[in-house]
Amino acid sequence: MLTLLVKQQQRGTISTHFPLACLILGVHKGSASVTTLLAQLNWLAPLAQRSGVRLESEPSALWFHEQVKLHRNFLAIDGDIVHVLVGDTAQGDPDILPQLLLAQYSNEALQWIEPCCKLALCGSRGIEAFRTLNKLLQTEFVYEEWREGDVFRESLDTMSSCDVLLAPEKTKFLASCLEPFLLGLATIADSVALQGALKEREVVTACQERLQQDVATGRIRSYSPLSLDFIKSSLQCLVALGAGEREQSGFVWKKEVLLEVANDARSFLCQERTLDG
């Protein structure tokens, strides 16, 4: 029922190509040429529209200049290159707000194509891997266990009809869209495994510090996992997977299950790197 409700909502959604453009920028680490953006929008847009969303814009070089001007609080364009603004706060720390805004728009687009991204990330591992991904990402994307087979087949049909299924560069792109979420979940599982029974606020703070380190070093390529919503939903996911329990004194974690969850998430990251050649 939830999956059907999401599809009905998407069929009533009217948007533009801008969220997809942000998703592309994120995959390209915040900088890409207009030529690259247009080329990837050319195949991503039909894939997104299969979800039912209506994209009422006509991307062109002029359109990108207009969009950058409209979103100049986090984007800029130099010649043919669109990029996320880089700077420091008044306190001298890196200003991550532009990256967080990019992630917010990217996540909107990801909701339209996430089943295809999961399928691309599974590679040749089939529906069982698809089921595992759904469980790992259950607090990020809506799914229902009883419809997994239908969604798997629908995604195969969508990717095939949009000439994506047998196009390695396109499947690599789709697979990479989910990498930050899986890496973020694995990092949080590692972090909480080192903690005792801490209250949620303390757990969230510790996880955020660990994630900030990984983003700063480039180990995580997206700023999406830095959001409090992501951290809290990941903790909720770990509890749902049986890796921990909420008690009055705080969280109590099961290290063996945490290790299993982290390993499951990283197994897909290895698959994604294999796809990436």
In which region does residue 260 sit, left (phi positive, over 0), alpha (psi from -120 to 50) or beta (all else)? alpha
Q: Please state the φ and ψ torsions of residue 82, each to the nearest 5 degrees.
A: -95, 135
Pair of tokens at residue 149: 């087979």
pLDDT at 38: 98
Contacts of 166 (CB under 8 A, 6+ apart): 160
Q: 91: pLDDT confidence band, cut at 50, 70 and 90?
A: low
Cβ neighbour number for residue 29 with a 10 Å cutoff: 12
Cβ atoms 43, 170 nearer than 8 A: yes
Report the share of the chain in percent with pLDDT over 70.
90
Instruction: Tell whether the model's pLDDT for residue 18 goes beyond 70.
Output: yes
Give the predicted TM-score (pTM) of the model: 0.89
Pair of tokens at residue 20: 């997809």
Give CA 265 to chain center in angstroms: 13
* 174 residue type, one letter: L
> Which DSSP category does 226 fall into?
G
Report the share of the chain in percent with pLDDT over 90.
69
Q: 273: pLDDT confidence band, cut at 50, 70 and 90?
A: very low
Walk me through the domains of the chain, giving residue ranges and CATH numbers.
1-172 (no CATH), 178-268 (1.10.10)
* Distinct helix (H) and strand (E) counts, the chain: 12, 7
pLDDT in tens, 181-238: 999 999 999 999 987 667 888 889 999 999 989 988 888 888 889 889 999 999 999 9
Listed residue (137, 94, 93, 96) closest to 115, CA to CA: 137
Pair of tokens at residue 120: 């691309």
DSSP-assigned beta bridge partners for residue 244: 253
pLDDT at 277: 34
Cβ neighbour number for residue 145 with a 10 Å cutoff: 10
Pair of tokens at residue 40: 């990837």
pLDDT in tens, 71-87: 999 999 999 999 999 87
